[in-house]
Chains A and B, each alone.
Chain A
Amino acid sequence: GESVGLHLPTLSVQEGDNSIINCAYSNSASDYFIWYKQESGKGPQFIIDIRSNMDKRQGQRVTVLLNKTVKHLSLQIAATQPGDSAVYFCAEITYGNNRLAFGKGNQVVVIP
């Protein structure tokens, strides 16, 4: 299928290792953040979200960290699996707004 990840920053990670994907956002008024995973030829898939009144949130094998001081968001994937290979996008939204603003994608390639 057609790759969504052409010319994107790429993180190559060994299967079983942990992955960290970073995202810088620009709007200090943003108060809700989402990480999406997008596989080739598919739509973005919700992974985890976090509100601006939190600095950490954990899901199954994933953790999102939010640093509002430097406007930085990260996604940690524990024990990365081949099925985690995809492009990952962070997205932000401001209260009262309806449009998600997406950051640049990061391609994750899991090496078996």
Chain B
Amino acid sequence: DTGVSQNPRHKITKRGQNVTFRCDPISEHNRLYWYRQTLGQGPEFLTYFQNEAQLEKSRLLSDRFSAERPKGSFSTLEIQRTEQGDSAMYLCASSPPVGDTQYFGPGTRLTVL
């Protein structure tokens, strides 16, 4: 399967703990996006990378959230001091250098107890 992959698929953590998710985009896709989706809602944009540069961040991305894409390939999303309100599906998407279509991964389901 050469689609976007995300790990882990599920994460259960206690409030106050830090968590880190990983996204591997489709090969040769230089653009990468993170979204968050809560139950019954559409995905909401969090941040965007072009190669290794983080070019856009949503206001939803509080100071506790940080995303990196150090080599312009995989990306990580870290949430520090998790809160119950962080419980959601975290989706990663990628797109090629040309074209606007974003292809999504399976997501990481985070549950904060």
Contacts and interface: CB of A to CB of B under 8 A. Distances in A.
Given A42-B106, A46-B101, A6 B39 contact: yes
Given A43-B104, A44-B91, A98-B56, A104 B42 contact: yes
B40 interface: yes
Nearest to B45: A99
Contact of A2 (B39, B45, B55): B39
Interface of B: 4, 6, 31, 33, 35, 37, 39-45, 48, 55-56, 58, 91, 93, 100-107, 109
Select the residue from B6, B35, B58 with max chain A CB neighbours within 10 A: B35
Contacts of A42: 106-107
Given A98-B31, A98-B33, A98-B56, A5 B48 contact: no
B42 A43 contact: no
Given A98-B33, A98-B55, A34 B42 contact: no
